[in-house]
Amino acid sequence: MSLCVLHMGPGLRIFVSLFFPLCHLPPPSAAANLRPGAEQKVVFITARVHPGETPSSFVCQGIIDFLVSQHPIAKVLRDHLVFKIAPMLNPDGVYLGNYRCSLMGFDLNRHWANPSPWAHPTLHGVKQLIIEMYNNPKINLEFYIDIHAHSTMMNGFMYGNIFEDEERFQRQAVLPKLLCQNAEDFSYSSTSFNRDAVKAGTGRRFLGGLLNDTSYCYTLEVSFYSYIVAGTTTAVPYTEEAYMKLGRNVARTFLDYYRLNSLVERPLAPTPKTRKEKEPLFKGTTLQGQGTSHVGSKLEKRSQTHPKDQSLPTQ
């Protein structure tokens, strides 16, 4: 997918084509063969819509690295789910070093309702792809997760939507609860579900209202600073590796959600090493029963020293 970026200067207008990456795991050729005749279950993940929120890229990198690895869990996930990942929704803003806006000065995460192919090309392209999948009877888009970084709160946490259907609302809470069990830095107590009017143009709010009742949309937030492990009061500073670990745990949580644990190949028990034949403990001992054994000699001497009492009845 290409991105058209407009650079404006004194009397100058230049269109530059930049590469907008979109990861498809497994590749489309392999995904076509997932459970023939069944709907493809799709998880769509986006990140870095706000260019200054760099931790979101590390979390997304952790997800991608895990899913393309040879880990047994990753193999099962690739066999049963399709992951579509747009790791950078605002590449021009990242290139320019902006904190929140694109080159055109827009906060892209407020324009999901009506993105312009000219002013918001990445949003427009991703939205069109999501709508195509939504209208495809062979595809079931079950999750949309938009990854962000938070400047004031700690830990990882999620924002979800509020639904009139109580059952759907309860089902929406399952994924963050499972993630809380898998990731020590994720806080379910900080997770909230809302219908805030100022968030109406976000991906979570818009897609949550667009997709059907089997789809769940979240904003995954992670702190710029630190996290507190449950049951402790010590703040642990986040590192790049800690962000990527959260990403790996996000991916692993889908194994629990879809109850695919029984399909994971368990590592075989290590083959015991062949022990070398040990030298006899006593020089006179022989495996063939040949020669005189010191052990046998000691037993003979012991029986001679303490002869059996002939007065005892033989049993």
Q: What is the CA radius of gyration of the chain?
A: 31
DSSP states of 141-158 as a string?
EEEEEEEEEESS--SEEE
Helical packing angle, 55-67 and 72-80, nearest 10°: 90
- Write the CB contacts of 196 (distance below 8 Å, at least 6 apart in sequence): 205
- Name the active-site residue from 132, 142, 221, 279: 221
Confirm if 126 and 89 have CB atoms less than 8 A apart: yes
Q: Provide the 10 A C-beta neighbour count for residue 258.
A: 15
C-alpha distances out from residue 261 to 28, 30, 75, Å: 24, 22, 12
Q: Helices in the chain by DSSP H: which ranges?
A: 28-31, 55-67, 72-80, 91-96, 121-135, 166-172, 174-182, 203-210, 240-257, 294-305
Strand partners, 8: 13
Sheet of strand 216-223: strand arrangement: 23-25, 82-86, 40-47, 139-150, 216-223, 156-161, 192-194
The DSSP bridge partners found for residue 218 are 145
3-state helix, strand, coil in the chain (%, to 5): 35, 20, 45
Residue in the structure block whose two tokens are 């990456």: 21
221 is catalytic: yes
Which residue type does 102 have? S
Q: Which two tokens stand for residue 275?
A: 């022990």
Distance separating alpha carbons of residues 91 and 284, to the nearest angstrom: 81
| Residues known to be catalytic | 221
